[in-house]
Structure 1
Amino acid sequence: MEKQGEESMGFKKKQYVGFGVILAFMLVTAVVMLVSMNHMKKNMSEIVQDRYMKVKMATEIQLLFSQSDRELLAIINDEKASGTKTAIQNITANRAKIESRLNQLDNILNHSQAKNILAKLQNEFASYTETEETIINDARHNKTVPSGVISDYQTKRSHLTAYITDFKNFQENLMSKAMKNASQLEKTLLQMIVVSSGLMIAVMLLIAYWIVSGTAKSLNNISKVMTHINYDDLTSLPRVDVKTEDEIGEIGAAFNRMAASLEQASQKEKNYIEQISERNWMQTTLAEMATMYQNITHINTLAERFIQKAVPVMAASMGAFYLKRGEKTKAEFVKIAAYAEDRGNPGREKFSYGEGLAGQCALEKKSRIITDVPENYSLISTGLGEAKPRSILIAPVIYEEEVLAVLELASGSFNEFHAIIAGTL
């Protein structure tokens, strides 16, 4: 069934199917690549817009905290009031910025571990802010900061610094993982492109092989038929087995039509050559027989010579020559010469007009080839009895519309050409 289906698929249909498969494969590959690229773009966008922004804000918080910490240390260590007001303003401004950044992070964080770290950071910052505010109030009133407050400040500063560092490192790790994932996705996409290109080339080669092999097979079938042509005899040419209705099938059908035309033309040429050969042979035979009859004056001798020559020339096995004697209703045809390959005595001794097949031919003045020989017909009699031939040729000898003699021949097979020769003889 598969083979029949393949043979019924034409050359043009194969091309449509082949290129359709290639286009479908290219479309699927393009869709997969677009989806992968979109996913990679999304990851890159997350890296740039999300991870990077979070790391940036964590870095800003760390920087602002460092600035505030330096200002606060200056307040603690500076017993003079100069610069305290400016330091307090800077600390207050930085605190507001840090709180703003912490609120932004709280709104955009989507990782549970990051949220936990941020919550600890916010709590520690709130506690740190209280101690910071105590130190600022003492500075405003020109009071010395108690050592206990300073110790508490240092502890909270260390904890807050650690939380900020942890949060920043966590976000940097996430960004690093995202970068690695993007890089891996890029490699995967590149591998997919290479594999898809290889598969596409393989599919194209397979489809090309399928189309070319099918076409080559059909053309080889036509070529094999052409190589089996016998150019010496164009009367019988091989035919192409047309299995498809495509362009290749049309070539095969055209070859078959051409072969039929060549056979007809060759057969006509062969028949013409045979006719020419038969005419030449007949003219040569007549010339030989005309030469043979010279200087013969007795009719019986002439008849004997004639029948001895005519039987082999006509490819007959036996024959008899009857000469008309008498006039009108009393006329009868008497056997004056006979010939047989087995030296029998062919023919009857005499017959009249209309008597038997020979008499009917004499009466009708027409030659006849008899293939359906009657059961009671016999031409040769031997010591073992009478034998019936398979084909009889009876030809009257006519001169000036009068039948002068009758020639009767027996053989395995006669045709119209034999009748023409007999009439000419």
Structure 2
Amino acid sequence: MSYRKKQLLGFGVILFSLMILLIVLAAMLDGVRQNLSEIMDERYDKVSRSAAFRNNFAYLDSEVGYLINENDPQQISSHLAQIDRRSQAAYNHLSYLQLHIGKDGNGNMLGSIQQGLDRYMDVVERIDDALNRGDSEAASTLFVEEAQGIRTNLLRNLGEYTMMQEDRMQTAQQEADNRFGHILMVSAVSALAIILIGVICASWVIRGTGRSLRRITDMMDRFDPGAVERMSRLTIDTDDEIGNIANGYNHMLDALEDHNRRSRTFNQRIEETNWLQLKLNELLLLYHQMPDQKALAQKFLSIVAPAVQASSALFYIRETKDGKTSFSRIASYADGGSPDTQKRFLPGEGLIGQAAIDRREILIDLPDDHAATLRVGSGDFRPKQLWIIPIQADDHVEAILELASVQPFSPLHHELIEQLRSTLGIALQSVSGRIEVERLLQESQSLTEELRLSSQYKSEFLANMSHELRTPLNSILILSQLIAENPEDADSENKSYADIIHRSGEDLLSIVNDVLDLSKVEAGMLDINREAFSLRDFPELIHYGFDALARQKNIEFEIKVAEDVPAFFHTDGKRMQQIVKNLLSNAFKFTSSGKISCTLHPVRISDLPCAAPGAEAAMSAIAVTVQDTGIGIAEDKREVIFEAFRQADGSTERMYGGTGLGLSICREFARLLGGCMTLDSTEGQGSSFTLYLPELPEESV
């Protein structure tokens, strides 16, 4: 074979090989372009649309929930408008997806989503009808039992559709990556073969082709899949396969940059939402920590002003004095402190007063020659924008917020302030209410303290008077007893008079002793002595003094002690006997026939039927029940009889006498011993008083 033939053959082989290589590379790059086109133009758009549909449906579902719990007609109209807007947006996104089904074959899935949305909107209409009828319970039932089930199925179908699109997007991305790898491999191998053949056959062909391929390879080596800014493009102007490769690569970069820009926008929105929620949570926690409205306003400005990039801020609170309402400044942020600034505005006065009347924001772009300035260490700056914001709660403007900035407020700043307006108004009302409660509590504590001093003076007076009365009474009792026991006057009227004086003196002394005991209790001067009291000796101690009275009135009287009571019980035995004797005295006074019984038995601490102060520290307890068949006590008089100097009614006092101190002393002594009392009575059939005494521990005395 001649050199010329070899050269022609080699050159033909080169041309043929180059043609095949370019065809293969063009096909592979076209496949990559198709994969990228599918990812960006079809799959990404469908995923974005489905996400937008989900977002609008979520807001729609939230607005329906708010609508059910809303009572304000204005807010109800607002919720209905939002529901209509969100549902229309959801239908628009769904229609777009149905019009661009393409070769996915997912018409049935979109049809299921369409049916779910239609059913959900049907339930919304039924909820609206129920609310119009005033049947909020039916509306809540529809929302919980029907709407939420439809919502779950719809979101599941939507999730399956979105997952399918994402899977196909990943599949297309993988195919593009694989093809791209093949392109690199084929390009490298083919380039090497062509270079080797070209060195032998045509160095100028090899050099030209190698130069173009090196440019492509260098560009691919600098490829950054996460780049957002514009990357360098291939500038090969040849109208051949290499030029097509360059164009395909350039198209791929265009699609990738667009995808990265969209991702960056989406991530930025997520960050803004998280920032917004963080600020809202920070302020919500702040509301519960401030002692008054001024502190709340100052702390609010110190957080919100930097958040919205305000250069200065003022806070005005609504005040009502002498029937006139005004808005007074209580807090400021970076205020210049000019003496010419006004600190109080009436409704309708200036922008502050006008915002209070109109109940809407006022946003003003200030001219460059505006007189107001912001003062800092390096000089004064003129604000560019002024924002007046009324803070409402319960259909009232509670405060006015004034913000000034050297740059326009962003939509994110507007969104933050809009969400803070209602919560701030409620927080101001809450702080005001808490201050009022604290004021009333202080007044109550002051009155309580005054009453406790006055009570002490009364107790001291009664105690002193009781001691003063006891001395002449003792003399009267002694002298009357001497006269009655004089044998010379045994049959005279003097003995009868002396007996009367002696009995009257004893009654009066008993009253004085009762008053003295009550005064000691009220003054906190009555001592409790803990001792080991013998419960086995209890019947003998109680029988003394009441047996003769029972025989005199012909009344059956018995005392029972349960067998399982302990031999000794730690309490103040004297006070315990005084309580029981007072109860028995009352029983004999108001019982003319029948039976009176006194029963003592142990009880468990957990079974006490009344609130005993010493129950928590005690290990055991006893109960003493005094039961009679007397006149009984009416149900509406059961609390009255325990009050000092009170009896059931006037007829009882006239018929049976007495001062009404006995039961009052019993209850106070029971409380001092750590116990309590209960009453069970039927009018006309008798009464049953039960004393519950926990055992006194040593450390309680």
Shorter-chain TM band: 0.3 to 0.5
TM-score by length of 2: 0.27
Q: Please tell me whether Structure 1 or Structure 2 has the larger radius of gyration of its CA atoms.
A: 1
Q: Which has the higher contact order (CA 8 A, sep 6+)?
A: 1
TM-score by length of 1: 0.44
